[in-house]
Structure 1
């Protein structure tokens, strides 16, 4: 039960932060945000506020912000269509009833001849009772009513395509950006709560039954010299130890103001390419608000490099698709991480946030990176791509992503439940 709650909270936070970035910059640019959704599939909970439908949906596999103009509008008035019109106090159309007109007896039924709800905001048509040609002005916040469901119209100035390249770029980029910012915030909390590694070669914990314990190292010892050579940082100390497996080293340490010589033989441990030396100690930690800020940025950067390296290996064939994990695999790993403590769970959340940001920036159709790529192409060409062609590319990309998700999920199920 704890894992389920933790997974839902973690998933909800990552998706909410990502989608809030899209939502905030869409609103700021004056775009009409039709829906802010967490999850996919059937609605579990929903409410409408300030033009936007907020929903929580059944399938926890992501989320989305639906902005007017990003996808073709579902409702389109065509010549010869009969619609019902209701009017506000200014005499402008504020409701356009598409069907079930009998449920709106006060509506004026007209046959549409022409309709421009993008720029001029008018409906031209004939009153079916009087056969008189009329022109109706439409309020910019009028609603379609279809199957008794209201959908606000989207004049062109409220659509995604009407905004500048900079505004559209920022609206798309803001989702991944918020994931990076979330990672920075979490690493800052971790750095301040747990402490951050000191730059000096000061020993924190000494592992039991390790070469360091046998040699007599104590927490708080500061390594000043190794074999007579001065040590200026933990990184320098660590590199010498790793390069000296099974070689005796004489270390001069500062212990409570006194210099003490300690002899230690690093154990040989198998590394990626060769054996490396380890003596079984951890660097000392210090709590500092000021130092936690650069630490949080550095950790986010290091995780970004690691994830980009793995993505590159996947593209070049060094990793197989079986190495990928979907929601099932992430849930299984989350269960294991929770058992190691809350701080590790926070670090796992920060790492997933970085991962979500980077994956969404990949130049693949249907992802934020794919949409950003089209804006870049538009900037080079000097004109936008054909919306229908771009829509087809994103549709195909989305279908392939769903297929990939199914394959990855099946691999997760086989690995977890059938291979132990």
Structure 2
């Protein structure tokens, strides 16, 4: 175990995490496109100037760009950002035009676009299914064993032996469900439904806020109830049951991501918690230093986030394309090219602004602003 991963180690871990996930994402697009007979002009991992590449017998240029922060598949006929037919596309020979992305039916184009995020989510399901099969799934009952003094649970009147049935109407099947619910909701007022002896009762409770620092110096603002459960219970999972366990775990993570994003948008959680490539590199190095299980678990989380973010209905992302296809399906005709162009410009501006915000946050997370303040002071 590496105690303090350095910059080079973190960069290597970042490339080992992002590179394969981007490749798998773009391979989803590529494979679906090839299945429907669409010619791919280029398949790139990374942006910018090509540093290595080759052209296969089908005419696809496989290459690596110098900026390893994403990738793309350029299908034949992609002549503008909105991907709509134009004069240059109409000028193509009929046989060549038939192999372009724009020539395909709406449902095929939608599948090609959705295939990238889908394979990212499928990869996460596969990884989490493997963990479930290897380690089992948590079945520790949501029964309180201890209540810490001076905590929200004590103030609410919770006691050892209470079984927490639900929080704010959300059923709690295991003790870890309690921890996961509270974790992302610090300071939130909730109603806890408790089974005590033969009766149920609802108790108001405000989830506590704890600032926690890990061994790498990262500080987190998390929610805590102030209770402890009994001896952990892990149930073995068969090879047939493992995929379902992976789907459930993936759905829980997506639900938590949606909740956290909603908290940021509503102002209940600071925008400072948004991170970008620098923070991902830092976390990648930290998790790799803890061993392969921790790093593979991080891969699952990053794969889920990559799939989820790309499905957001933001022009420029896969979800934006799917939104336009949905509009096209309802209107029976696509949006006007000019409207799509302006939408994609707005999407690009939003993505660039977000990148500026997360980069500012990332530099703060690695201590750049603190060091600059120290030099100025």
Question: Aligned partners of 1:402 and 1:409: how far apart in 2?
Answer: 10
| TM superposition score normalised by structure 1 | 0.63
Which residue of the other structure, out of 220, 228, 240, is the alignment partner of 1:290?
240
Partner of 1:46: 53
Q: Which has the higher strand share?
A: 1
Structure 1 residue 116 displacement after superposition: 6.6
1:327 and 2:277 correspond? yes
- From the superposition, tell whether residues 379 and 345 of structure 1 become closer, same or farther in structure 2 (CA, over 3 Å): same
Tell which has more relative contact order, 1 or 2 (C-alpha 8 A, sep 6+).
2
Deviations 1:114-138 (A, max 9, x none): 9974255xxxxxxxxxxxxxxxxxx
After TM superposition, give the deviation of residue 2 of structure 1 in Å: 4.2
- Please say if residues 378 and 385 of structure 1, whose CA atoms lie closer than 8 Å, have aligned partners that are also in contact: yes
Q: Which runs of 4+ in 1 moved over 6 A?
A: 226-229, 236-242, 271-274
- The aligned residue for residue 341 of structure 2 is 391
Relative distance call for 1:186 and 1:274 in structure 2 (3 A) is closer
Gaps of 5+ in 1: 79-113, 121-139, 141-154, 203-209, 213-225, 243-248, 251-268
| CA pair 389-68 structure 1, distance change in 2 beyond 3 A | farther
Quote the offset at 1:4 in angstroms. 3.1
**Structure 2 unmatched runs, 5+:** 1-7, 82-86, 148-159, 166-171, 183-195, 198-206, 210-221, 372-377
| Alpha-carbon distance in structure 1 between the residues aligned to 2:363 and 2:316 | 26
Q: Does 1:195 align with 2:130?
A: no
Task: Report the alpha carbon displacement of residue 310 of structure 1 after superposing the two structures with TM.
Answer: 1.6
Aligned residue among 29, 32, 39 for 2:39: 32
Which residue of 63, 80, 84 maps to 2:71?
Answer: 63
Question: Which residue in the other structure is 1:20 paired with?
Answer: 27
SS in 2 for 1:158: coil
Report how far residue 227 of structure 1 moved.
6.6
* Change over 3 Å in CA distance of 1:68–1:386 after alignment to 2: farther
Give the secondary-structure state (helix, strand or coil) at the position aligned to 1:54.
Answer: strand
Paired residue total: 301
Aligned with residue 293 of structure 2, among 328, 343, 346: 343
Task: Provide the aligned C-alpha RMSD in A.
Answer: 3.7
Counterpart residue number, 1:176? 117
The aligned counterpart of 1:306 is 256
Distance 1:364 1:27, change over 3 A: same
Give the 3 Å change call, closer, same or farther, for CA 174–411 of structure 1 in structure 2: same
Deviations for 1:370-411, whole angstroms, at most 9, x for unmatched residues?
111111111111111223431342134224312321331122
* Structure of greater Rg: 1
Equivalent residue runs for 1:32-181 within 5 Å: 32-49=39-56, 50-72=58-80, 117-119=91-93, 140=95, 155-181=96-122
Q: Is the 8 A contact 1:69 1:159 kept in 2?
A: yes
